[in-house]
Amino acid sequence: MKSKNFDKKFDEGKSDIVANLDLSTAKRLNQTQKRVNVDFPIWMVDSLDKEANKIGVTRQSIIKVWLAERLDDQAANKKN
């Protein structure tokens, strides 16, 4: 399908446009992983584990979520 036809279907609100996409090659930007090592004091690891257990996630997940929240906040503050 030519992009002109695809754009027309999209603009008309056709819900079947996803069927025209090859999602096997789709990539999310800036989502590649890079491993880093960080040393934390024992008290911090214990606190992270306690908080992670409260909400039923892994230590790594809570670290990622909290860091992402902080980075989002920092980016928002720079815009103001």
The residue whose two tokens read 């930007």 is 29
pLDDT at 80 over 80: no
Give domain limits for the chain.
Answer: 3-25+33-79
Cβ atoms of 30 and 19 within 8 Å: the answer is: no
More confident residue, 54 or 79: 54
% residues pLDDT > 70 (the chain): 96
Residue type, 34: K
- DSSP secondary structure string, 5-54? HHHHHHHTT-TTGGGGS-GGG---TT-----------HHHHHHHHHHHHH
Per-residue pLDDT at 13: 81
- The pLDDT tens digits for 6-37 are 888 888 887 677 777 888 888 888 888 899 99
Band (45; pLDDT cuts 50, 70, 90)? very high
Tell me what the pLDDT averaged over the chain comes to. 89
